[in-house]
Amino acid sequence: GENVEQHPSTLSVQEGDSAVIKCTYSDSASNYFPWYKQELGKRPQLIIDIRSNVGEKKDQRIAVTLNKTAKHFSLHITETQPEDSAVYFCAVGSSNTGKLIFGQGTTLQVKP
């Protein structure tokens, strides 16, 4: 089955710096790549997603890039703010399997 690896497990940055989180996957049939943000004690919430026919997508300070050949995708957060501190999960899905497989999560700390 699908295997999703996420790195790093923890990331600490200064406010205003950029943060990058990377995920790799194994199933070349996967075609949907969302990112979720989970604040402490809360539910995961979708922040951005990308489909396999697109290489990059941006939404204000957040962007996601996808390299289908290498089977990896990344979340980029620019001009980080303390409220960006949370756990971030990547996930991989496909129309064939009907389910999302999640990475292990990255705890991002933005220091003021």
Partner 1 sequence: NAGVTQTPKFRVLKTGQSMTLLCAQDMNHEYMYWYRQDPGMGLRLIHYSVGEGTTAKGEVPDGYNVSRLKKQNFLLGLESAAPSQTSVYFCASSYRLGDYGYTFGSGTRLTVV
Which one-letter DSSP state was computed for residue 17? Answer: S
Query: How far separated are the first and last CA of the chain, in Å rounded?
Result: 41
How far is 64 from 62, CA to CA, in rounded Å? 7
> Toward partner 1, which CB reaches closer, 12 or 15?
12
**For residue 53, what are the contacts with CB-CB under 8 A and spacing of at least 6?**
none
> Toward partner 1, which CB reaches closer, 19 or 91?
91
How far is 66 from 73, CA to CA, in rounded Å? 4
> Toward partner 1, which CB reaches closer, 5 or 79?
5
User: Of 7, 42, 58, 111, which one interacts with partner 1 (CB under 8 A)?
Assistant: 42
How far is 89 from 23, CA to CA, in rounded Å? 9
73 scored as a contact of partner 1 (CB under 8 A): no
Instruction: With CB under 8 A as the rule, give the number of residues binding partner 1.
Output: 28
89 scored as a contact of partner 1 (CB under 8 A): yes
24 scored as a contact of partner 1 (CB under 8 A): no
Interface positions with partner 1 (CB under 8 A)? 1, 6, 9, 31-32, 34, 42-46, 49, 51, 89, 91, 93-105
